[in-house]
Amino acid sequence: MAFKTSEHPNPQFVRKNWQSLNGEWEFGFEKAQSGFKFSSDSKRAEQIRKKGKYTHKINVPFCIESKLSGIGYTDFLNLVWYRRLVNIRRSGKRVMLHFGAADYLTTVLVNGKCAGRHRGGYTSFCFDITELVTDGENEIFVLCEDNVKAAMVMRGKQSEQKKSHGCDYTRTTGIWQTVYLEYVPENHIKSFKIYPDVQDCSVTILADFAGRADFTCEVLYDGKTVGEAKTAKAFSERFFKIPLSEKHLWEVGKGRLYDLKLRFGKDEVFSYFGLRNVRLDGMKFLINEKSVFQRLVLDQGFYKDGIYTAPDDSALINDIEISMALGFNGARLHQKVFDPRFLYHADRLGYIVWGEYANWGLDYSSPKSVSVFLAEWKEAVNRDFNHPALVGWCPFNETWDYHGRPQYDELLSTVYEFTKSVDFTRPCIDTSGNFHVKTDIYDLHDYSYDPKLFKKNYDRLVTKGELYEHVLNDNPGRQKYGGQPVFISEYGGIKWESDKKIKSWGYGVDVRTPEEFCERYCGLTQVLLDNKKMCGFCYTQLYDIEQEQNGLYTYDREKKFDDSIYKKIKAVNTKKAAIE
């Protein structure tokens, strides 16, 4: 079951002339071998294309480890390869081959010739294959190389052990997002960034063009034109400021979106934006100059049958809706760069999110590893820059000294500055949890399970302006609080087993009844809402994932409790926060 072809994989950048390549591909793979090294050019791909065996059929975009791929092989893998014959009609257009994401090092051959290579498992990439194709049948071959134990591979929550364990889960190897073709004119729009301005009710577009042509940008709201910009013979990069005749703010729970029609010669691209700004003021987190308490839940983007890939578009929508049904107004998208369609639904539903990267597995002491990280992190920030639902960036998670490898403070400071240089419009947390070096918001992970002690510890922030930092008990002087807004970005994690057959995992002392679960949840959450120096919380987590059974729903997104429990959870989540 692949995504429907009618659902464009990137609603932020839509051309009408596109062709989905999801569905059945010929497929082969090679089990992991000791001493494996990544290729440095396309020769390995060329050899496998000629000599490799296609032992299976696979359902793209699902990874080999998933049930929905039709295979479900979960042991370690180093090499997977794909082949498909595609009919192409160029009709004077350039032919672009897009991959939503593929893990990890991808080499693409078209009719036996190298179209390009991409390193990284989480961001979109595209190759212009115009010169490699002919009208009629063409062969597309894809080789993906992976090794979750390699220093330069950011694995996120993919298990580095043979089986899932603790808070690491089944791996994803190869293609895991939509593959598609696009047919574009010679002169075309390459990319654009959208800068909405709430104060003067305008929007500025920074567009990058291939070639030279007349350019028009039309802004619509509910089908009515509310702004327009035109210029003759545009080329290269250009800014266009467009005053808006109507003001419709994008707000939490109200995803009011303006439509965009961009025309560059014969090229036409459809997009959208939200009129909103995000900034910090003292201890407050502001959206459109209003204090918003972030009532977030941790969402790791795993699916029982698809692993990294949702079974269909409705599953993406459902994850947002079941979260909002419990009174959450957003999510921390954890250790994964999420599918653009998830972000689209967050945009239209008014569901705020933080963009994160899957940094676990990165060797911070390796210059080559860091360069690989920076390249893909920049791709992630640029790809998702235009989403109004995305209100902040967090490139790292829990970078504390680990297994003899120290946190590199200078690296965190550098990546913070790097992120702000790519996107100055959003706050950035240098590393979620610890140890902070340079950050706009001071977040903490605290899995204390006694609400009374929880309150006592964080009352110091109100009475003395001091922050209780449990992580410093064994690491004195490792980080210093500098008066930033405070956000408890992980708490709770209360285990409640939905599958007794699995050896489960969670945080804190086990609760014995649903009522005890609810009492602890409400008690901890109320403490954070009542603290007038707190700007938000993020509860761990929305749903169970494999052996980690501390979700508010099961892995299948079914209810774990009676409606009476969920009603109480929603009631506390939606109480007014002291800072609002």
423 and 568 part of one domain: yes
The encoded tokens of residue 169 equal 């889960």
| Domain end marker among 128, 147, 177 | 177
- Pairwise CA distance, residues 428 & 420, whole Å: 7
- Calculate mean pLDDT across residues 408-418: 94
Predicted confidence at residue 368, as pLDDT, reads 87
> Which is it for strands 486-492 and 442-446: parallel, antiparallel or unpaired?
parallel
Q: Check which CATH number belongs to the domain holding 87 and give it.
A: 2.60.120.260
Give the predicted TM-score (pTM) of the model: 0.96
Residue found by looking up tokens 């911070």 in the block: 364
Q: Is residue 258 part of a domain?
A: no
- Residue 188's DSSP bridge partners are 210
Least Cα distance to 430 among 389, 394, 478 occurs for 394
The answer on pLDDT for 477 being more than 80 is no
Final residue of a domain: which of 177, 196, 212?
A: 177
Number of independent structural domains in the chain: 2
- Please state the rounded mean pLDDT for residues 3-23: 89
For residues 324 and 466, state if they share a domain: yes
SS3 sequence of 28-47: EEEECCCCCCCCCCCHHHHH
pLDDT tens readout for residues 23-36:
999 999 999 988 99
Q: Domain range for residue 30?
A: 23-177
As given in the structure block, the two tokens for residue 166 are: 């603790």
CATH label of the domain that carries residue 546: 3.20.20.80
Q: How many CB atoms lie within 10 A of CB 91?
A: 9
Residue 38 lies in a domain: yes
Chosen domain end from 177, 204, 219: 177
Provide the pLDDT confidence category of residue 465 given band limits of 50, 70 and 90: confident
For residue 356, tell me if it sits in a domain: yes
- Averaged pLDDT score across all residues of the chain: 95
d(CA 110, CA 281): 52
Q: How far apart are CA 116 and CA 126, in angstroms?
A: 9
Measure the CA–CA gap between 251 and 566, rounded to whole angstroms.
Answer: 25
- The β-bridge relationship of strands 202-221 and 258-264 is antiparallel
On whether both 306 and 158 belong to a single domain, the answer is no
Q: Per-residue confidence at 109, pLDDT binned at 50, 70, 90?
A: very high
Strands (E), 288-394: 290-291, 294-299, 330-333, 352-356, 390-394
